[in-house]
Chains A and B, each alone.
Chain A
Amino acid sequence: MFYRQVFISIFLSIIFLFPLYLVFVNSFKFENDILNNPASFPELFTFNNYINIFVKSNDLLSNSLTNSIIFTSLSIIFVLVLSSMLAFSIHFLSKKIQNIIFIFLLLGLILPTPIILIPVFTILKFVNLNNTFIGLILFFAAYYLPFGTLVFRGFMKNIPKEMIEASFIDGANFIVCYLKIILPILKPASASVIIITGTWVWNDFLNPLILLGPLEGTTVTVGLYRMVGQYSINFGELYAFMVLISLPVLIAYLFLQKYFIEGLLAGSGK
């Protein structure tokens, strides 16, 4: 009974994860082998695909990797700071106002971005932040603020009210209380927010495509799209490109997977 369950589970997982295997294995093969024998292990092992995409792409790949690293980390910092501040300070408002704010945050959480992309584009253009990383980072911070706030709020419930009040009696103001008491307690929740918003921002395609425009640098996802469009690229190189840009999030996920799932449940369950 148990072995049947193990067997069926492994069999189904292999089928389910087969596309991932294909991408990974074929990124180390020569083009002929990919076409003739896509599913096998590489008989002639090669790193050519990886070298080629760096050479062929005229810095497209290296640029997009640096850009993505920079703007993903900055977006994460913005989301972390703003949403933890909001989750803490919202606590002191009346129940009615809290609920109104949360309804708006929920609206933001379920809003498909294409709906607001046109006005966001015009607003950023109005303040001269279109085609800049700052504009894109600000938009990401605003868009993922509801998620961060909800995760942090779930955690805030565990903090005893007396602890906060005691700090006020000791003469701390809101900022000191936030920095000294709230931030350290929110650390585990921060791990969830970091890994989840990090993955979403890194993987996002449409928002950078529209808000960064074609002139100002590029991100890994838009880079992939351009690479396919501009340069004659073969299967092996495409696979190598995809492995490279997915590797950072995959590694982060493997190390922090516990926080990833906890965060998803905290953000979506309440």
Chain B
Amino acid sequence: MKINKKNLDYFLLISPGLILFSTLIIFPICLTIFYSFFKISFLTNNYDFIGYKNFYKILYKKEFFNSIQIVLVLSIVAVTVSNILGIIFAKLFNHDHKIFLILRILIFTPFILSPIVIGYTFATILTDKGILNQFLSIFFINLEISWLGNPTYALVSVSIALCWQLIAFCTVIYLANLKNIPRELEDAVEIDGANKIQKFRYLDWPLLAPALTINTVVILISTFKLYDRVLALTGGGPGRASETIAMLIIRTAFNENRVGFASSMSLLLLIISGATTFIALVYLGKREVDN
């Protein structure tokens, strides 16, 4: 049967979603590109065309590269740590007993919580007179690490808060993937006399490729938009030691009112995050097919 797509009723179904999506997601991407060649102020509503000058400025200011570096370091740490611990948890919990059913439900809870709640939770644990240092002082005498005040430790703290939530996510995705591995295959490998490491290397690891792809991409996206956790934990400090790229863009646009400059940074972030996600998808996706 031929369906006439020019009907008004068809148009009424398909257009609202597409129109809304184009105006508030696709069109803004185009505007970001447009804005990045202007000098804009929200206060005076002035739009002055200044060409590529914004990008020129980015090259000469350290703050953008500082933030990109922070985000890249965080994403490498998060991808590695969350995937490894996610697999460990998933392997442990991959059992039909009731206890594991409950553990599986509980382990996911960090992912349900708001990142800003998680930020404040870890802030109270990691602050100078906080719970972690109090706890440590039971064993060591006056080990006074300023987890949030020291530039290096601040990044460690941010990674902990970030990974905590992502481990929960990774575990659940790996668990779902593990369920799809046929029991017979595992038995066959065991009969062949493979030890645990070999079994993991040649059976689980290749078959977990789809979960690895999903997890890595989700981790990359969440580090690129990392904002609330860091705001609650360190506020980007000390200095700019933990200021993520999202924080830098928002600060430049809405606190310093340099909208065009912030847009050019957004454009660069779009390119960097798009390229990274795309490479991860293609590379990890190819791995899935190879197996």
- Which residues of A are in contact with B by a Cβ distance under 8 Å? 2, 5-6, 8-10, 12-13, 16-17, 19-20, 22-23, 35, 38-39, 82-83, 85-86, 88-90, 92-93, 101, 104-105, 107-108, 110-120, 122-123, 138-139, 141-143, 145-146, 149, 165, 168-169, 173-175, 178, 199, 202-206, 210, 220-221, 224-225, 228, 235, 238-239, 242, 245-246, 249-250, 253-254, 257, 260-261, 264-265, 268-269
Q: How far is the CB of B209 from chain A (nearest CB, A)?
A: 12
* Chain B residues closer than 8 Å to A2, beta-carbon distance: 97
A29 to chain B, nearest CB (A): 12
**Residue among B7, B13, B99, B173 having the largest count of chain A Cβ atoms under 10 Å:** B13
Of B20, B23, B28, B122, which contacts A19 at CB under 8 A?
B122
B92 adjacent to A210 (CB under 8 Å) = no
A203-B115 in contact (CB<8A): yes
Inter-chain CA distance A34–B150, complex, in Å, is: 25
Question: Closest CB-CB distance, B98 to chain A, in whole Å?
Answer: 11
Closest to A219 in B: B114
26 example contacts (A-B, Cβ-Cβ < 8 A) are as follows A5-B92, A6-B99, A13-B106, A86-B13, A89-B13, A92-B3, A92-B5, A92-B10, A113-B225, A115-B249, A115-B269, A118-B253, A118-B262, A118-B266, A119-B32, A119-B263, A142-B23, A143-B25, A145-B20, A169-B1, A206-B225, A225-B231, A242-B117, A246-B113, A253-B112, A260-B108
A8, A114, A225, A245: the one within 8 Å of B249 (CB): A114
Question: Which residues on the B side are within 8 Å of A118 (C-beta)?
Answer: 32, 35, 249, 253, 259, 262-263, 266
Cβ contact within 8 Å between B21 and A110: no
Residues of A within 8 A of B173 (CB): 264-265, 268
User: Given known contacts A9-B99, A257-B108, what 8 new A-B pairs fall within 8 Å (CB)?
Assistant: A85-B13, A89-B10, A110-B273, A119-B28, A165-B1, A224-B117, A246-B114, A249-B114
Interchain residue pairs A-B with the least CB separation, the first 4: A112-B225, A203-B114, A119-B31, A119-B28
Q: Residue-by-residue, is B42-61 near A (CB-CB < 8 Å gives 1, otherwise 0)? A: 00000000000000000000
**Chain B proximity of A236: nearest CB distance (Å):** 10
**Bound CA span A88–B110, Å:** 34
Smallest beta-carbon distance B108→chain A, Å: 7
Structural contact, A115 and B17, CB atoms closer than 8 A:
no
Contacts of A22 in B (CB 8 A): 121, 124-125, 131
**Chain B residues within 8 Å of A138, by CB:** 20, 24
Q: Within 8 Å CB of A203, what residues of B?
A: 113-117
Cβ–Cβ contact B13 & A142, under 8 A: no
User: What 0/1 readout, one digit per residue, does chain B (160-183) give for beta carbons within 8 Å of chain A?
Assistant: 000010010000110010000000
A18: nearest residue on chain B (CB-CB)?
B125
B208-263 residues with Cβ-Cβ distance < 8 A to A are 210, 214, 217-218, 221, 224-225, 227-228, 231-232, 245-246, 249-250, 253-254, 259, 262-263
* Alpha-carbon distance between A19 and B233 when the two chains are bound, in angstroms: 14
In the complex, B100 has a CB within 8 A of chain A: yes
B3 neighbours in A (Cβ, 8 Å): 92, 168
Q: Is the beta-carbon distance between A145 and B225 smaller than 8 angstroms?
A: no
Q: How far is the CA of A23 from the CA of B9 in the complex (A)?
A: 52
Residue numbers in A under 8 Å from B135 (CB-CB): 38-39
Closest chain A residue to B32, Cβ basis: A119
- Give B85-125 interface residues, CB cut-off 8 Å to A: 89, 92-93, 95, 97, 99-100, 103, 105-110, 112-117, 120-122, 124-125
In Å, the complex CA distance between A165 and B121 comes to: 54
Q: Which residues of A contact B164 (CB under 8 A)?
A: 16, 19
Indicate if B189 sits at the interface (CB-CB under 8 A). no
- A-side contacts of B217, CB under 8 Å: 110, 268
Whole-angstrom CA separation of A17 from B108 in the bound complex: 10
Q: Which residues of A contact B267 (CB under 8 A)?
A: 115
